[in-house]
Amino acid sequence: MSVKSVIPPSPTAEAYAADEDQGEVFTLDEPLALFINWLALASKREINDSNAMALATVDPDGLPNARMVLLKDIDERGLSFFTNLESAKGQELAAHPKAALVFHWKSIRRQVRFRGPVERVSDAEADAYFATRAKGAQIGAWASPQSQPMEGRFALERRIAAETARHGLGATPRPPHWSGFRLVPVEIEFWVNRPFRLHDRLVYRRQGPGDAWRTERLYP
């Protein structure tokens, strides 16, 4: 099977021209409010995980690493997600606390990119979110040394059985190696598909938290 047979061909001129013109979509001055507005629309259209975002970090050699995580909270401080602190991403963020995030919603053909420093959420925030997770996911956080080599699926099942015996009854405490990070955006770019790949881009930049946002349009 050739790769070409599974990669969609470039659209024809007619298909490009028929791309939906979404009109004015940069409708709010405050970028986090605009993002929440777009996310609300995406959550109605995406088949699942409209809060999924690619998280890019760098390893000790400066080699980038990217993987999906779920956005779990957003407020004026930034965007938070939760993970194992000893995973590759956890270690990379501890060593280089800066990251990029990107959302791509195929259903509405929009993209939003964030860049900025990353901080740990407070223990209270992590406890509060952990308490909302399903019991099985709480046990899983104890049982899975995320990103470590695993001998086989059975090894995981053995660990889950052991942690279920320890934490099966009553409230499950948050593991010390499990918490969240918050990306504090200093750059946010909104992108929307337009006919003929002549997309619209609007970037917001600020020096740091609390500073005013400046906007700029970018060529597609």
Ligand X SMILES: Cc1cc2nc3c(=O)[nH]c(=O)nc-3n(C[C@H](O)[C@H](O)[C@H](O)COP(=O)(O)O)c2cc1C
Phi, psi (degrees; rounded to nearest 5) at 211: -80, 160
Residue nearer to ligand X on the CB measure, 25 or 141 = 141
Could you give the residue numbers annotated as active site?
A: 197
Are 190 and 97 spatial neighbours (Cβ–Cβ below 8 Å)? no
State the nearest-atom distance from the C-beta of 83 to ligand X, in Å.
Answer: 3
Residue nearer to ligand X on the CB measure, 25 or 126 = 126
State the nearest-atom distance from the C-beta of 71 to ligand X, in Å.
Answer: 8
Are 149 and 86 spatial neighbours (Cβ–Cβ below 8 Å)? no
Sign of the C-alpha dihedral computed for residues 92, 187, 109 and 70 taken in this order: positive
Please state, in angstroms and rounded to a whole number, the distance separating the CA atoms of residues 106 and 51.
13
Q: Which residues bind ligand X (CB under 6 A)?
A: 49, 52, 65, 67-70, 81-84, 87-89, 146-147
Residue nearer to ligand X on the CB measure, 92 or 200 = 92
State the nearest-atom distance from the C-beta of 2 to ligand X, in Å.
Answer: 27
Residue nearer to ligand X on the CB measure, 84 or 193 = 84
State the nearest-atom distance from the C-beta of 82 to ligand X, in Å.
Answer: 6
Strand (E) or helix (H) holding 186: none
Please state, in angstroms and rounded to a whole number, the distance separating the CA atoms of residues 218 and 206.
16
